[in-house]
Amino acid sequence: MKTFQIDHNNDTISVDQIDKTHFVVHQTGGDLTLILKQDNEGANHWFKEGTDNETEETSSIGVAIDSWLTKRQ
């Protein structure tokens, strides 16, 4: 498991990467588990665990995670 911090909504948030597609985001209001899925065209989509739709919040957190991961590769 890898732990790192991202900036989101003018706040620094801790993220635990469980595996390539599962991330636990530690927010002030509680933890959020995000699942990364790619569509058939290779675009990334971020879902809250147990749902099948991407929201504005999960997308913006996912973009911040993608950015952090890209910088570290």
Write down the domain spans for the chain. Answer: 2-72
- Using the predicted structure, report yes or no on whether residue 73 has a pLDDT greater than 70: no
Measured over the CA atoms of residue 41, residue 44, residue 50 and residue 53, the dihedral's sign is: negative
Q: pTM for the complete prediction?
A: 0.90
SS3 category, 40: coil
Name the band, by pLDDT with cuts 50, 70 and 90, for residue 72.
Answer: confident
Neighbours of 4 (CB within 10 A): 14
Write the pLDDT tens digit of every residue in 10-58: 899 999 999 999 999 999 889 999 999 999 998 999 999 999 889 999 9
